[in-house]
Amino acid sequence: MSNAYVIGHITVKDADKWSQYREQVPATLEPWGAELLLRANLARVLDGTHAHTDTVVIRFPDLAAANGWHESAAYQALIPLRQSAADIDLLIFQE
């Protein structure tokens, strides 16, 4: 098995809604054996361009778990809140 990582590049549009979303996400991760590794604000773009101000990195035990989490009813229920709270590019990488 190889780990999978969900990486979100984020620009917050509504801080209150974003806070509500962030409070609810951890409960959706737990059943999938995921670990939140990083929530951070962009300090500097070294080369190229980057449109977002925040990043999140979540480690999953495998690609199936990452996909399962994203497609789960629990997470899907949060997507409308996420979309009203922030602009996000959400990606999965596999080791």
Domains along the sequence of the chain with CATH: 4-94 (3.30.70.100)
> Strand (E) positions, 13-85?
35-41, 54-60
Contact call for residues 37 and 57 (beta carbons, < 8 A): yes
How does residue 43 score in pLDDT terms, banded at 50, 70 and 90? very high
C-alpha to C-alpha distance for 45 and 47, rounded to whole angstroms: 6
| pLDDT > 80? residue 40 | yes
Q: Residue 43 carries which side chain, given as an amino acid letter?
A: A
pTM: 0.93
Q: CA dist 54 to 30, 89, 95, Å?
A: 22, 11, 23
C-alpha to C-alpha distance for 43 and 34, rounded to whole angstroms: 26
How does residue 54 score in pLDDT terms, banded at 50, 70 and 90? very high
C-alpha to C-alpha distance for 37 and 30, rounded to whole angstroms: 13
